[in-house]
Amino acid sequence: MAAMTICPQCGSSFLQPLRCEAKGSDVLLVELRCSECQAWHKEPHTRADMKELDRQQAAFRATIVDGYERSVAESMEALATCFGHALALDLVTADDFRPRGAAPRA
């Protein structure tokens, strides 16, 4: 028995284990959801298979977090660049920082 790591419907490796139920001393019935095609699968896994799934989940999570942090940094850099240009062109005033719904200053 080997851990199901590829979706049999679409071939994606983004399988997310959601629930598991013990079926013996070393066998767990695992419910997996494919993040790509949304298919659900139930497969028996050993505890060693589950460790491998956990390892893969941690690696995927690290990849996602790295991508997210890189995206946030790029976004903040773009905003800072735009803000710098706006300041240089004297387009920013105190009114730009008033709370939403507050009356503009007279």
Q: In whole angstroms, how far apart are CA 33 and each of 14, 42, 90? A: 8, 9, 52
From the CB of 45, what's the least distance to Zn ion, in Å?
A: 18
Please, which residue, 39 or 50, has the CB nearer to Zn ion? 39
Q: In whole angstroms, how far apart are CA 80 and each of 75, 77, 86, 100? A: 9, 5, 10, 21
Please, which residue, 7 or 53, has the CB nearer to Zn ion? 7
Which positions touch Zn ion (CB under 5 A)? 7, 9-10, 12, 34, 36-37, 39
Please, which residue, 4 or 7, has the CB nearer to Zn ion? 7
Size of the chain in residues? 106
